[in-house]
Amino acid sequence: MARQQRVVIVGGGVIGLLTAFNLAADVEQVTLLDRNTVGQESSWAGGGIVSPLYPWRYTPAVTALAHWSQDFYPRLAERLFASTGVDPEVHTTGLYWLDLDDEAEALAWAEREGRPLSAVDISSVESRVPVLGHGFSRAIYMKDVANVRNPRLVKSLKAALLAMPNVTIHEQCEVQGFILDGTTIKGVDTAQGPMLGDEVVLAAGAWSGELLKILNLELPVEPVKGQMILYKCSSDFLSCMVLAKGRYAIPRRDGHILIGSTLEHEGFDKTPTESALESLKASAVELIPALADAQPVAHWAGLRPGSPEGIPYIGRLPGFEGLWLNCGHYRNGLVLAPASCQLFADLLLERSPIIDPAPYTPHGRV
């Protein structure tokens, strides 16, 4: 029996979409709002590796969410594909890290966490990835790392939500303020009029901090620009993901190769730049020399929701009844989404949480 709760979710990226998806069966009504079109910001722009780039460099809080999500992603993709006909293309290729400075720490972390990461001989990498550039001397490998085709994940989640009778999606619907009764949030004011709810969830990515300023709250979430380029090769050109010097190559099933990404503090400016294009092309050629003869077919930028240590805010916001956060995932929104949104649903619906929610609580952090 669904609870008599109306939930308004502000932000239609993967976090907002999956939050809606996880709540819809258990509440009366879900209203999802996005200032543009759903999933067109950070969710669309990212690479979609289902792992933090350097998982051993993160806090246990990020690791806990990442492990749960990595193990859950294939089931989520199958469920979405079966119900919508849109395949998010969770593509398990494995990932090679090359010439790491902290290889010993990575291997110690893997042993401690029970993850299948191990040192491999560089000659075995060269035989499996014949297009790899020469000059690399060391490698570690994790076999079960996947990537998800994030634009297709967004499309699949949107289709699943549109099929649910108690879910409404409002696009081009910018939030202009909060509807308050004392310190209780009753909904939000938007360009399309008031949207009322018993619970309001901020899942607005890099814009979440700006929205909370309306309530005179300071949330340390800021936009961090990232630029990427895309090549089109044959489907068997690159067999797995490779990462060196902070840059990566991600193969899609159809032969598209993503190269990313920059890390820039430029406010809300997401204009692609010529300097980033040249830097990314140089990284592409260093990783895969054959790309020197290819031209990128696309170049774009997105804004990550930067947060301290990359630990998201998940839970009720103190001081205002009915206001919740699920935001601040920094570089790992796609990686952490399944666990974050399941944990969020557990908290809002007062179920036993999948993992300890304490590290993510907004209380004492906002």
Domain contains 76: no
| CATH number assigned to the domain comprising residue 343 | 3.50.50.60
pLDDT, tens only, 197-218: 999 999 999 999 999 999 999 9
Domain contains 52: no
Domain contains 65: no
276 and 235 belong to one structural domain: yes
Domain contains 67: no
Q: Is residue 2's pLDDT more than 90?
A: no
192 and 227 belong to one structural domain: no
Share of the chain above pLDDT 70, in %: 99
Kindly state the helix (H) or strand (E) to which residue 112 belongs, with its residue range. helix 103-113
- Residue 41 to residues 58, 193, 300, 333, 349, Cα–Cα distance (Å): 24, 23, 11, 12, 28
Q: Token pair 């690399």 is at which residue?
A: 136
Other beta carbons within 10 Å of 194? 11
Number of structural domains (the chain) is: 2
Domain contains 69: no
Residues 155, 18: Cα–Cα separation, whole Å: 12
Domain contains 110: yes
301 and 349 belong to one structural domain: no
299 and 318 belong to one structural domain: no
| CATH number assigned to the domain comprising residue 246 | 3.30.9.10
pLDDT computed for residue 1 by the predictor: 54
167 and 275 belong to one structural domain: no
Do 331 and 337 touch, CB atoms closer than 8 A?
A: no
Mean pLDDT over 76-80 rounds to: 97
pLDDT computed for residue 366 by the predictor: 84
Please tell me whether the overall predicted TM-score, pTM, comes out greater than 0.85 for this model. yes
Mean pLDDT of the chain: 96
Tokens for 109, please give them. Answer: 């972390």
215 and 228 belong to one structural domain: no
Task: Report residue 4's pLDDT band, with 50, 70 and 90 as the boundaries.
Answer: confident
Task: Name the 3-class secondary structure at 271.
Answer: coil
102 and 40 belong to one structural domain: no
Domain contains 63: no
338 and 322 belong to one structural domain: yes
264 and 316 belong to one structural domain: no
Tokens for 112, please give them. Answer: 């401690």
pLDDT computed for residue 314 by the predictor: 98
Q: 39 lies in which domain range?
A: 3-46+152-221+308-360
Q: What is the CA radius of gyration of the chain?
A: 21
Mean pLDDT over 152-169 rounds to: 98
Domain contains 345: yes
Q: Is residue 3's pLDDT more than 80?
A: no
pLDDT computed for residue 306 by the predictor: 96
Mean pLDDT over 326-335 rounds to: 97
Q: Is residue 258's pLDDT more than 80?
A: yes
238 and 295 belong to one structural domain: yes
160 and 300 belong to one structural domain: no
290 and 335 belong to one structural domain: no
